[in-house]
Amino acid sequence: ESIPITDIIPPLIEQHKLKAGKPVNFTVNIPNNIAVFADRTHFYNMLGNLIDNAVKYSGDKPYCNISIQAETQTNGIRISVTDNGIGISEASLPHIFDKFYRVPSGNLHNVKGFGLGLYYVKDMMSKHGGSVSVKSQPGKGTTFTLHFKN
Ligand code: ATP
Ligand code: MG
């Protein structure tokens, strides 16, 4: 099913603003008429997982900035979610997509979770013929990017 990305962003933003427990500022930069071919529920849940993490790992900052960007490329579409949260150390980055993996960082990390969200995103992106990548700077923030192939 072809899903215009801009269709699913407003309900996602609403949902996560309501449950965040602190102000979340969303910046959305998505060209009109960009659509991905995906299962609607899974597409919604994949982006939902990334936004959920962006809020959960925002640390003790009193607010959370999340930027959602999308762009068309020659071989597909890429959608990224960037936060200004606690970031992920270089040592942990290779493991974060593993089933049940959570970064072991003691008191910084008294946030509930199973370590399944990113495993689901990676698995589901590969089932859609795509992939997911991550870039992070500890203490500064993280960007996850979904790559959909044409
Ligand atoms: P679940 O998603 O199952 O509720 P979870 O959030 O712990 O639990 P994942 O979403 O798979 O699991 O993320 C794995 C780990 O990667 C997290 O526990 C966290 O340590 C780290 N992580 C994920 N996203 C971010 C992010 N945006 N900023 C900082 N750390 C992150
Ligand atoms: Mg998660």
Total domains, the chain:
1
Q: Return the bridge partners of 71, or none.
A: 78
Handedness of CA 2, 14, 72, 45 (dihedral sign): negative
Cβ atoms of 50 and 9 within 8 Å: the answer is no
Cβ of 120 less than 6 Å from ligand 1: no
The pLDDT tens digits for 16-42 are 999 998 999 999 999 998 999 999 999
Q: For residue 109, name the pLDDT band (cuts at 50, 70, 90).
A: low
Residue of 45, 49, 56, 108 to test ligand 1 pocket, by largest number of atoms within 8 Å of CB: 56
Please calculate the CA angle 120-121-122 and round it to the nearest 5 degrees. 95
For position 13, which CATH number holds?
3.30.565.10
The ipTM, to two decimals, is 0.99
Q: Which helix (H) or strand (E) segment is 117 a member of?
A: helix 117-127
Determine the atom of ligand 1 nearest the C-alpha atom of 87.
29
70: containing domain = 1-149
> What is the rounded CA–CA span in Å between residue 116 and residue 99?
6
